[in-house]
Structure 1
Amino acid sequence: MLIRDLPEDVVMEILSRLPVESLMRFKCVNKAWYFLIRNPDFIAKHLFWATSEKRHRGLLLNREHEITRTPWVSLHSNETLEVSRYVDLLQFFPRDVGELVVFGPCNGILCLFGVPADRNGPRDGLVLWNPATRESKALPIIQRPAEMPTTFPFRFGFGLDPKTGDLKVIRILNLNFRRCQVEVYNLSTDSWRVINTSVNPIYRINSPRFPSYLNGVHYWLACERGGPDHWLMLSFDMSNEVFQEIALPSLTERPSFEAVAVINDSVALILAYNDLATRFYYICVMNESGEEKTWTLMFTIGPLLHFTRLIELRDDGFVLLRNKNGWLVLYDPITQEQRELPIYGDSFQVVSYTETLVMLNGSGECA
């Protein structure tokens, strides 16, 4: 029996389980498949299977080139870590980028924040990008307020409003630590708007180093200026657009609060403990019971050398580290075995994502 002889719903079920790369080719088979693969119901079904079964995964590696000192981005197999292709950032930004930060993923979409190499050139840029379909969308130019120095950083969040299905980008500006302004970008309207917020301007909010969005909420690690021992977590509800302060666990030892991360559908806090020439990372998971939130130690990474830096906590239980010599290392927290990878850099950002058909432009055409 040929596939064209199968009922339409059976064909839809078969196609919804295939990788994006295959589906992008199949759009050329006939008009019926072209419109099916672009259909929102089919895209939602494909997304459901890809996320629920954790299939069709990709990995983005953002590192600083050791010679040019500019961002060098590549896509890899999430399983083997082999390179699938290199990414030209000029397809997203009008000028050379001196610094790149990646936020997400959310439904297979990444948010790229590019700082131009020439500070006197164009303003900082934000781009939403689906690396599987290669579709991208540049957000409206970010204009810095006149009183905000060009060296002063923004803080961003990125996620989905589960009530409307709309992708949102959050931009937090702390103006001279006297006033905090929060802006929200909606993909559906392609515009920014200022919202009322109760964020305390004395908080120093850390930029996310790891995926920090889960189930309609984005999380940041923050501390109170002038009070280095007062650390907390800030959350932002993408639907209600309300911030909430979350207390961190009480600790007898004095750790270094490293970051917030989402690991296997749980919100985690990363703590670092230094002991003589070694370092330990403690990964604590947040448990929610109504309004009360508690923390449980999930696992420990170490002992490691002081110069070792945590790069990614993988869903398969392994950890990516940067060793003292600048090489990327695959580490097993259970056996403490380390495998040095042939990937070198002064700094790394690694993001694993699910390959999806989620569209960014109304037409659905890929850039």
Structure 2
Amino acid sequence: MSTTSFNDLPRETTSEIFARLPVKDLIKSTSVNKAWYSLINNPSFISSQIRRCISNCHDNSLLIIPPITSIQNYCSLISTDTSSLIEKFDIPFETRSRSLKMITEVHGMLLLTDLHTEYASKQLYLWNPYVRRHRLLASSCFRKLLDDRNRTFRVVGMGFDKPTNDYKIVRIVYVRDDKDKLFADLAPKVEIFSLRKNTWRKLKDPGVPRLVYDHGVYFNGSYYWLELNQLGTERANGCYGTEMRIMSFDFHTELFGLLKVPDDVPCNLGRCPHKLMQVEDSLALCVIDAPHRDKGNTRFPFCIWLMRQENGVVSWTLRFRPLLKYFGSPLGITKNGTLIIESFRTNEHDETCIISCNIKSMIYKVHEFGIARNPISQSFFDVSTVDALFPESLIMYEGGKSLLKFSK
């Protein structure tokens, strides 16, 4: 009687089985035999695994990146259901000021930088914690300009250019003029980093339309930042103005654009800034509205607007407006619709509090873990950054070498 082993299965079946395994098990499997090594390191398989992980990312977890790595030199993957630690990732590099913040995450690859304003968005780090691969991007087309921290304000985004099968990083350098004004007489400079070519290049006549807040989100081939048309005093982080737009950058056409926000959205970015995020496969804008009294209790409306764009026409729909018991800053939303906020109510450990609320069931959870106050600035504005849609992918992995590929 003949028997069939795993190696006798069709290659397509074997690939389908492997694609469902956790990344750590996949990497271990490469040492079993040459056939498995060849299959798992095949660019086509890696592309398939990345596609699967994007659609099946953790829907109940939160990746927390600490602000001060000299105090905590690891990132934590936390369950939003139980507050328990799922996994701990040691940070394999050290920034100049030993502080860290995440700029964005694309397909499981984190783009991080120094939290300190002197080095922020100047030195960039790519890191996939699951495959333990990282990369420092220290060069620039504008090195001398970036070294003059008093003259520049830098904004960075990362995304995937599907038609060219390339990941790109865009860096906008705003330069102060003789009157100490940003985005006035001196046009911003822009450079693009291609991960396939491993080079920076200048973008000619970029036509940057606005000065933007330095936090954004990647969605569907473009990167988006909130803009503030400031009056009088120029403030790079944005506080008050008369109108607001969303500035976009298309990673394929390499063109900037502007989108209007909903008419009912207030223009100020105060202590709790508006938050761009991805919700239900749409670009979303989360806005904290004025407090609401409900049966003697104060509730805080978190308005979540979803954007639609058809034939170049942008429209917004108010999809959710949960009245939350807690006031705080929106950090993100998980795939299953759990809104993560950072409450400004502190505890005896001098931490802010993380609140999760499913915006459909309105089930709250106050988590035992918190986000530590930055001991350098004694401020809650420079806190840990989080990722609520962190997938487990093989990006940056190929036989122990860096790989940055994705299928067309």
Q: Per the shorter chain, which TM-score range?
A: 0.7 to 0.9
Match of 1:37 among 26, 35, 40: 40
Residues 181-220 of structure 1, C-alpha deviation per residue, up to 9 Å, x if partnerless?
11111111222111021113xx3301226xx112211111
Deviation of the 1:133 alpha carbon? 1.0
Residues 41-78 of structure 1, C-alpha deviation per residue, up to 9 Å, x if partnerless?
1111212222334469864202346x977776323457
Match in the other structure for 1:74: 76
Larger deviation, residues 250-259 vs 37-46: 250-259
Amino acid at match of 2:207: S
Match in the other structure for 2:98: 97
Match in the other structure for 1:300: 321
Match of 2:211 among 179, 204, 227: 204
Match of 2:248 among 231, 235, 243: 235
Amino acid at match of 1:315: K
Match in the other structure for 2:85: 83
Report 1:49-198 matches (<5 A): 49-54=52-57, 59-64=62-67, 73-76=75-78, 82-89=84-91, 91-93=92-94, 95-98=96-99, 100-115=100-115, 124-141=122-139, 143=143, 145=145, 148-150=148-150, 152-176=152-176, 177=183, 178-196=186-204, 197-198=206-207
Deviation of the 1:165 alpha carbon? 1.4
Deviation of the 1:115 alpha carbon? 4.3
Report 1:333-348 matches (<5 A): 333-345=359-371, 346=373, 347-348=383-384
Q: Quick check: 1:359 aligned with 2:396?
A: yes
Residues 145-172 of structure 1, C-alpha deviation per residue, up to 9 Å, x if partnerless?
1684359541111111111111111111
- SS of equivalent to 2:393: coil
TM-score with structure 1 length normalisation?
A: 0.85
Match in the other structure for 1:319: 339
Match in the other structure for 2:23: 20
Checking the alignment, whether the CA contact within 8 Å between 1:38 and 1:364 is kept in structure 2 is no
Checking the alignment, whether the CA contact within 8 Å between 2:63 and 2:77 is kept in structure 1 is yes
Larger deviation, residues 176-185 vs 140-149: 140-149
Match of 1:269 among 274, 278, 285: 285
Amino acid at match of 2:21: L
Q: Quick check: 1:331 aligned with 2:357?
A: yes
Q: Quick check: 1:223 aligned with 2:228?
A: yes
Q: Quick check: 1:250 aligned with 2:263?
A: yes
- SS of equivalent to 1:208: strand
Residues 98-131 of structure 1, C-alpha deviation per residue, up to 9 Å, x if partnerless?
2x221332121111112469x6x99942111112
Larger deviation, residues 122-131 vs 159-168: 122-131
Residues 303-338 of structure 1, C-alpha deviation per residue, up to 9 Å, x if partnerless?
4444x2222211111112222122212223345432
Consecutive unaligned residues of structure 2, counting only runs of 5 or more, are 177-182, 232-239, 293-297, 347-351, 374-382, 404-408
Checking the alignment, whether the CA contact within 8 Å between 1:59 and 1:76 is kept in structure 2 is yes
Change (3 A) 1:57 1:46: farther
Amino acid at match of 2:213: N
Larger deviation, residues 214-223 vs 7-16: 7-16
Deviation of the 1:174 alpha carbon? 0.8
Q: Partners of 1:362 and 1:25 in 2: how far apart?
A: 11
Amino acid at match of 2:332: E
Change (3 A) 1:310 1:237: same
Amino acid at match of 1:246: L
Q: Quick check: 1:290 aligned with 2:337?
A: no
Checking the alignment, whether the CA contact within 8 Å between 1:56 and 1:354 is kept in structure 2 is no
TM-score with structure 2 length normalisation?
A: 0.77
Consecutive unaligned residues of structure 1, counting only runs of 5 or more, are none
Change (3 A) 1:64 1:22: same
**Matched residues, percent identical?**
24
Deviation of the 1:95 alpha carbon? 4.5
Deviation of the 1:263 alpha carbon? 1.8
Change (3 A) 1:79 1:48: farther
Amino acid at match of 1:191: T
Checking the alignment, whether the CA contact within 8 Å between 1:268 and 1:284 is kept in structure 2 is yes
Q: Partners of 1:147 and 1:114 in 2: how far apart?
A: 14
Task: Number of aligned residue pairs: give it.
Answer: 356
Match in the other structure for 2:301: 280
Checking the alignment, whether the CA contact within 8 Å between 1:222 and 1:234 is kept in structure 2 is yes
Q: Quick check: 1:350 aligned with 2:351?
A: no
Checking the alignment, whether the CA contact within 8 Å between 1:93 and 1:125 is kept in structure 2 is no
Q: Partners of 1:38 and 1:262 in 2: how far apart?
A: 31
Checking the alignment, whether the CA contact within 8 Å between 2:249 and 2:257 is kept in structure 1 is yes
Match in the other structure for 1:260: 276
Larger deviation, residues 55-64 vs 289-298: 55-64
Checking the alignment, whether the CA contact within 8 Å between 1:115 and 1:125 is kept in structure 2 is no
Structure with the bigger percentage of strand = 1
Checking the alignment, whether the CA contact within 8 Å between 1:130 and 1:358 is kept in structure 2 is yes
